[in-house]
Amino acid sequence: MYKTVLLRRVQPPARRQRGFTLIELVIAMVIASILAAIAIPSYTSYIMKSRRTEAKSALLNIASLEERFFSTNNTYSALPTDLGYTAGLGVSFPVGSGYYNISPITVTQAAPPANTTSAGTPATYTITATPVPTKSQANDTGCTSFTITSGGVQTSTGSSTTCWQ
């Protein structure tokens, strides 16, 4: 009589994977480097732009305070303390997070007319924001300073004149 023989299948030993291969790690590092090379300059540019916006807002605030002071005193003030700031006369003072300084406020008082046919010269002020030299904003060479005058004229210096808009 025939015997039934059960044949066993021989299975190869199980291969265990442990970790990543060197190629996989190199590919992941290359992808991360490319993403960082794109993201870091964009982030830096965004941060500089937000600091410029903060300085411009401070200048516009000081200009509105000057106009309010003028409406009650019929003259502009060169003293930041008259406008609610802590700096004294002829001193530049930081605004916002301290990346920009407001230069001393330049005020020209009104001059009376020289004769009956001339109108005289009106009182004026000029306020300028410049980057603090010891902070990272000083590296923003395209947009170095921003100035506002009592006539509403806004000017900027640097290689890019549109960065303060």
Taking the model in full, what pTM does it have? 0.73
CB 146, CB 59: distance < 8 Å: yes
Provide the pLDDT for residue 81. 85
pLDDT tens string, the chain, 165 residues long: the values are 566 666 666 667 667 767 888 999 999 999 999 999 999 989 988 898 898 899 899 899 999 999 999 899 888 888 888 888 877 667 788 887 888 888 888 888 776 766 666 666 788 899 999 888 888 888 887 888 899 998 889 888 887 767 777
Nearest in space to 54 (alpha carbons), one of 107, 110, 97: 97
Collapsing DSSP to helix, strand or coil, 91 comes out as coil
Report which of 159, 139, 153, 165 is spatially closest to residue 44, judged by C-alpha positions: 139
Task: Specify the pLDDT at position 144.
Answer: 85
Angle at CA of residue 161, ends 129 and 101, nearest 5°: 10
What pLDDT does residue 95 have? 82
What residue spans define the domains of the chain? Answer: 22-157
Cα→Cα distances 145→16, 34, 91, 133, 157, Å: 63, 33, 17, 12, 5
CB 95 within 8 A of CB 53: no
Neighbouring C-beta atoms of residue 106, cutoff 10 Å: 14
The pLDDT value given to residue 102:
87
